[in-house]
Amino acid sequence: MQTVTVSDKGQVVIPVQIRRRLGIAPGCQLNFSLEGQVIHAEVKRQMTPTKAEDGFGMLVCKQPGTRKLADFDVATAMREATDDRA
């Protein structure tokens, strides 16, 4: 266990070993909770926003002709892809 000192502003420095292990970098957010005399800090994992085009090419449709997004059932396509590999 490593001891750190609280600043006048209530700030502490998280030891580098802990920051590296938990992936804590500048801008990361932590959730704090109190249980008796124990402070718990949990890294708040934020979801990276994605765009529809990020998934381009993930699913392949072998049906000929023009298709609309509404024509695709992702669950069925994934199941068929798994069946094709077996």
Residue 81 lies in a domain: yes
Number of domains in the chain: 1
Can you give the residue range of the structural domain that contains 69? Answer: 53-85
Residue 47 lies in a domain: no
0.75 exceeded by pTM: no
Residue 21 lies in a domain: no
Residue 73 lies in a domain: yes
Residue-level pLDDT at 21: 92
Answer yes or no: are the C-beta atoms of 59 and 74 closer than 8 Å. yes
pLDDT, one tens digit for every residue, the chain (86 residues): 889 999 999 999 999 999 999 989 888 899 999 999 999 999 987 666 677 777 777 767 677 787 777 777 778 777 777 776 66
Instruction: Name the DSSP class of 78.
Output: H
Residue 81: CB partners within 8 Å, gap ≥ 6? 59, 60
Residue-level pLDDT at 15: 94
CA 54 to CA 20: how far, in whole Å?
29
